[in-house]
Amino acid sequence: MDLRALRSFVAVVEEGSFSAAAVRLRIAQPALSQQARKLEAELGCQLLERLPRGVVPTPAGGKLLAHARDLLARAEAVRDDLRGEAALPTGEVTLGLPQSVAAMLTLPLLARVLAELPQVKLRIIESMTGYIPDWLREGRLDLAMVFRADVGGGLVLRQLLEEQLFLAGPRQAADGPRPAAGGQIGTVAFSALAGLPLILPGAPHGLRLLIDQRARQSGVRLRVVAEVDALAQLTAAASAGLGWSILSYTTLREALEAKRISVWRIQDPAITRSIYLCRPADRPATRAVQAVEERVQQVLRRLVEEGGWPARLTPPAG
């Protein structure tokens, strides 16, 4: 059992097919199938189940998947260590981002990595935060950002910033708060949200849990007329005058700049959420992972300090 066979096995499972894995690894599909058969013969058990619409791991394959990801990460760390500090960081780094964070961070981070880390291949996966902690523990992600600290064990978290949530509504509405002049961001008291027809994500979406918690604490009963989990569709619904929503600035920025919606900063009390950078606690971070982690923090700091992201940076621990 060698690392090449393990890397091929992981690719087949993650892609769900031999053909897609062959494209990803840039090898011929027959060679990939042969590697899988040799690995099964060596371990004496079936690892992959071929289905009409793809390939899935067997129970034994699921066990091997966790070991393979761990071994590959450790092998990469060994290579990094032996290359020496003078060498440029090299390798693949997979970063998981929530939808709203990806909208703000992806382009500036990608530009920074391409310019400063030419030998690092960055892969950004956009997902709902509920999946991200398990993907980190399973080895599918090297780094990720989440909104909650209580994501279970096995992860190292670092709080980066705290951002406010905003009320979003149509440009012209008969009821509700009046838009600020010149398309600027207005202000609205949390209590004023009680009479508005709200369209929010459904529970257990993290954003919805946070909004409901603040409503209970403030003694405000919200009127939720519909639930939509897709953040882009929530913004579109507010723009179309179908209802009002509560979202982060990162989600609303593009529509606000295009003057498709009106936005109000919620106050008395404000609704805030923290953003954490996290990685697995049981796997050493390669120099490539460390380099991307540094760039994530640098880009976030610049966005906040230049006013592009209305948020408060969290001081470094210690």
Q: How far is CA 155 from CA 5, 149, 292, in A?
A: 28, 10, 17
Statement: residue 313 has pLDDT above 60? yes
Q: How far is CA 297 from CA 8, 145, 311, in A?
A: 32, 11, 14
What long-range pairs does 252-260 form, CB within 8 A, spacing at least 24? 252/166, 252/168, 253/103, 253/104, 254/103, 255/168, 256/183, 256/185, 259/171, 259/183, 260/171
76-80, 147-151, 234-238: which range is least confident on average? 76-80
Q: Which residues pair with 143 in a beta bridge?
A: 95
Q: 181, 164, 163: which is closest to 262 by C-alpha?
A: 181
The answer to whether residue 298 is domain-embedded is no
Q: Which two tokens stand for residue 229?
A: 């989990």
Statement: residue 3 has pLDDT above 90? no
The answer to whether residue 215 is domain-embedded is yes
Q: What is the pLDDT of residue 86?
A: 52
pTM over 0.95: no
State phi, psi for 88 to the nearest 5 degrees: -70, 145
105-114, 175-184, 236-245: which range is least confident on average? 175-184
Is 170 in the same domain as 262? yes
Q: What is the CATH number of the domain that holds 8?
A: 1.10.10.10
The answer to whether residue 116 is domain-embedded is no
- Yes or no: say if 274 and 162 are a contact pair by the CB < 8 Å rule: yes
The answer to whether residue 117 is domain-embedded is no
The answer to whether residue 123 is domain-embedded is no
User: What is the C-alpha separation between 167 and 63, in angstroms, rounded?
Assistant: 46
Residues 185, 188, 192, 193, CA torsion sign:
positive
Region 74-95: mean pLDDT is: 76
The answer to whether residue 2 is domain-embedded is yes
Q: 289, 259, 264, 301: which is closest to 105 by C-alpha?
A: 301
DSSP letter at 244 equals: B
Instruction: Give the model confidence (pLDDT) of 188-234 as tens digits.
Output: 999 999 989 999 999 878 889 899 999 999 999 999 999 998 889 99
Residues 126, 99, 184, 239, CA torsion sign:
positive
- Yes or no: say if 36 and 27 are a contact pair by the CB < 8 Å rule: no
Residue ending a domain, among 87, 104, 129, is: 87
The answer to whether residue 261 is domain-embedded is yes
Q: At what angle do helices 249-257 and 99-116 cross, to 10 degrees?
A: 80
Range of the domain at 12: 1-87
Region 152-167: mean pLDDT is: 92
Q: 6, 5, 25: which is closest to 15 by C-alpha?
A: 25
User: What is the C-alpha separation between 33 and 25, in angstroms, rounded?
Assistant: 13
User: What is the C-alpha separation between 296 and 140, in angstroms, rounded?
Assistant: 19
- Structurally, the chain folds into a number of domains equal to 2
Write out the DSSP string of 167-218: EEE-SS-SSSPPPPGGG--EEEEGGGGGGSEEEEPPTT-HHHHHHHHHHHHH
The answer to whether residue 112 is domain-embedded is no
Statement: residue 130 has pLDDT above 90? no
Region 82-107: mean pLDDT is: 84
* pLDDT tier for residue 51 given thresholds of 50, 70 and 90: confident
Q: What is the pLDDT of residue 317?
A: 60
What does the radius of gyration of the chain's CA atoms come to, in whole angstroms? 23
* pLDDT tier for residue 173 given thresholds of 50, 70 and 90: confident
Q: What is the CATH number of the domain that holds 185?
A: 3.40.190.290
Region 155-182: mean pLDDT is: 87
Instruction: Give the model confidence (pLDDT) of 255-283 as tens digits.
Output: 999 999 999 999 999 999 999 999 998 88
Residue ending a domain, among 67, 87, 107, is: 87
Q: What is the pLDDT of residue 83?
A: 64
Q: 191, 197, 156, 154: which is closest to 174 by C-alpha?
A: 197
Q: Which residues pair with 103 in a beta bridge?
A: none
Of residues 85 and 220, more confidently modeled: 220
Is 83 in the same domain as 171? no
Residue ending a domain, among 41, 70, 87, is: 87
**Per-chain mean pLDDT for the chain:** 89
Q: What is the pLDDT of residue 143?
A: 96
